[in-house]
Structure 1
Amino acid sequence: MISQYRMVLLLVSATFAISTSPILARILSDVPAVGISFWRMAIGATILWVYSKFKPTVSLSTKNRNYTILGGIFLGIHFQFFFESIKLTTIANATFLGTLAPLFTLLLEKFWLKRRIQKNMVFALAIIFTGSVIIVSDQFDASSNYTRGNLYALICSFWIALAFMISENVRKEAGTVTFSKTLFASAAITLLMISFFTGESLIGYSELDYFGLFLLGLIPTVFGHGSFYFALRYIQPTIVASFPLGEPIIASIIAYYLFSEAVGINIVLGGVLTIVGLFILVKLRKV
């Protein structure tokens, strides 16, 4: 049994790992969003498939495989919008708005699955909505790339919420490696198809860019998200789900020092409200 101290240390490390995703994407300025998304998923899937060859895992059932493939399609679309938003808006905006999956998941459960919502959850939703509006309304101009990037970040949260909902039952039954390698492979194939439609190339980048893409597939994908899935075996889901909420804060601080991306008071206020609301929502959903 792994000690709680080591698990918390692992979760903190995983949070820092996933926070490198928008930073690496910003550094890869010559690689299109679909290229960043594709190689992140393809490299992550390849690493896990190779690992599974040396440490065999139980295969997914046909039903779970189909759900995982569908979840991978949604995940691929999520990353396309997320990395596109990184190209257009600030890292702070993209990451704060990109953490709204719990909000969209709850709304989908209410209006699609017709599940009841607690009154306290409505309060949390109001806080999240207020924070999101403050962030999106910053320098709002419907024709600007900045505003479009903010909207893309919102859209990416919707798609990851769909991916979570589709994959929810699969994650309870399947092992981390088995589930993740299929999910990432499906996302990579989806992004490959998107590249065909957009006409953007997935090859021909510099050696430095390919190295950055490899790090993107390894650090935030395999180590970061893989650690969160692993931790679910030993720590309550509420605690695990709370740690990724630190990503926007860490990423924004790094972006400030690396790229001189100043964070205005409205983004700080909106970000704090969003994170507080999401934290309350995550806690309530597990009660």
Structure 2
Amino acid sequence: MTALLLGGAAIGGSPIFVRLSEVGPMATAFWRVALALIPLVAWSWFRNAPAGDRRPQQLSDYAMLILPGVFLAIDLAAWHLSLTMTSVANATLLANLAPVFVTLASWALFRAQVSGVFVAGLATAIAGVVILKGGPAGLAAGNLLGDGIAVVAAMFYAGYILAIGKLRSRFDTNRIMIWSTASAAVCMLPMTLVAEPTLFPASAFGWAMLFGLAFVSHAGGQVAITYALAYLPAAFSSLTLLLQPVVAAILAWVLLSEPVGLAQAIGGAIVLVGILIARRG
């Protein structure tokens, strides 16, 4: 549970890094996964393989290790595209609906039991995010196509979480993260070259933001969530997505001097209450 919360908080800082990045959204997404390979591969070299870790042996094993990265690349590309087409509030909220799709898929595909208490907690947390983002009136300024692309991003992130959850019973966290991160980088590179005028930041500050995004939000946050998926259900683990707007609002207040109003504070508190309710379910 601690790893799950730390992972959610680390990923919650990603909007700050993205906002301060000196390259476009697609290029930022590429560097997010490409640079994250540095600590992941370094950790793999310097540690001893844990007991019970197995190597991929069949073609299906390699395919399953690559699949989460493909899902993640499409999720990142769709979310960053939606940010250019609809309001930031809509793109953030709709992309964070992945827990809904994880819950539905867990029930429909894997016959996982979903309690009424968990559903109530999920609904409460989503309501908190809506309030945090300005309420229904604040979400009305979006673009329908952009909103739809943000929902697609949520669906593919749900696929990423479910695929990682299935792999955790067979492979070690670091092995899963290296394969999925590398495949995401390979998928993101051609999209970045087509969509962006430049790939490299112009200053040391720009590189620092990309390294922070890669090391803290991806290598730190995603590793913690992948580790937690060995011990917690995918549906509950995906709820950490709903912590991201709360953490982002707090960091924007502390680092960027963006004020946090009463509605945002109430929305953040409701998100936390919803997650606590879901935990009991």
How does the TM-score come out when normalised to structure 2? 0.75
Figure out how many residues of one structure are paired with residues of the other and give that number.
269
Q: What is the alpha-carbon distance in structure 1 between the residues aligned to residue 204 and residue 243 of structure 2?
A: 31
Describe the superposition over 1:206-234 as per-residue Cα deviations: whole angstroms up to 9, x where unpaired.
3321222122111222223323444667x
Q: How does 1:93-108 map to 2 (within 5 A)?
A: 98-108=95-105
Paired AA for residue 169 in structure 2: K
Amino acid of the structure 1 residue aligned with 2:28: I
Letter in 2 for 1:23: I
Q: Which residue is equivalent to 1:36?
A: 28
Change over 3 Å in CA distance of 1:48–1:116 after alignment to 2: closer
Q: Distance in 1 between matches of 2:161 and 2:6?
A: 22
Q: Establish whether residue 210 from structure 1 lines up as the match of residue 210 from structure 2.
A: no
CA distance in 2, matches of 1:115, 1:228: 20
- What secondary structure, in the 3-state scheme, does the structure 2 residue paired with 1:137 have? helix
Partners of 1:71 and 1:267 in 2: CA distance: 33
Query: In the alignment, which residue of structure 2 is the partner of 1:25?
Result: 18
Aligned 8 A contact 2:27 2:196 in 1 = no
- TM-score between both structures, scaled by the size of structure 1: 0.74
Cα distance per residue 1:111-142 (max 9 Å; x no partner): 55566643334434543554455547343124
Matches of 2:32 and 2:68 in 1, distance apart?
16
2: CA distance, partners of 1:159 / 1:270: 26
Q: Which one of 245, 249, 252 corresponds to residue 252 of structure 1?
A: 249
Point out where structure 1 has 5 or more consecutive residues left out of the alignment.
Answer: 1-6
Q: Write out aligned runs for 1:80-99 (5 A).
A: 80-84=77-81, 89=87, 98-99=95-96
Contact 2:98–2:241 (CA under 8 A) maintained in structure 1: no
Corresponding residue for residue 55 of structure 2: 59
Match of 1:3 in 2: none
Residue number in structure 2 paired with 1:141: 141
CA contact (8 A) 1:36 1:83 kept: no
| 1:17 shift after superposition | 3.3
- Deviation by residue 1:146-180 (Cα, 9 ceiling, x = unmatched): x94x7665543322111111232211211111100
Structure 1 residue 78: Cα displacement:
1.8
Name the SS for the 1:160 alignment partner.
helix
Cα distance, 1:95 vs structure 2? 5.6
Q: 163-172 vs 241-250, which deviates more?
A: 241-250
1:101 shift after superposition: 2.4
The answer to whether the 8 Å contact 2:93/2:130 transfers is: no
Q: What residue in structure 2 maps to residue 237 of structure 1?
A: 232
2:187 counterpart letter in structure 1: T
- 1:273–1:158 CA distance, 2 compared to 1 (3 A): farther
CA contact (8 A) 2:87 2:143 kept: no
- CA distance in 1 between partners of 2:208 and 2:188 (Å): 20
Residue 103 of structure 2 aligns with an amino acid whose one-letter code is L
Contact 1:18 1:219 in 2 (8 A): yes
The residue matched to 1:172 in structure 2 has which SS?
A: coil
Partner Cα distance (1:98, 1:80) in 2: 11
The reply to whether residue 174 of structure 1 matches residue 166 of structure 2 is: no
Q: In the alignment, which residue of structure 1 is the partner of 2:162?
A: 165
Q: Is the 8 A contact 1:97 1:132 kept in 2?
A: no
Alpha carbons of structure 1 residues 14 and 130: separation in structure 2 relative to 1, 3 Å: closer
Looking at structure 1, the residues matched to 66 and 218 of structure 2 have their Cα atoms a distance apart, in angstroms, of 17
Whether contact under 8 Å (2:10, 2:217) holds in the other structure is yes
- How far the C-alpha of 1:44 sits from its partner, in A, is 1.1
Matched, 1:79 2:76: yes
Q: Identity, % of aligned pairs?
A: 26
Pair 1:72–1:113, CA change in 2 (3 A): same
Unaligned 5+ segments in structure 2 are none
Is the 8 Å Cα contact of residues 79 and 91 (structure 2) preserved in structure 1? Answer: yes
Output the amino acid matched with 1:27.
L
- Aligned partners of 2:207 and 2:104: how far apart in 1? 38
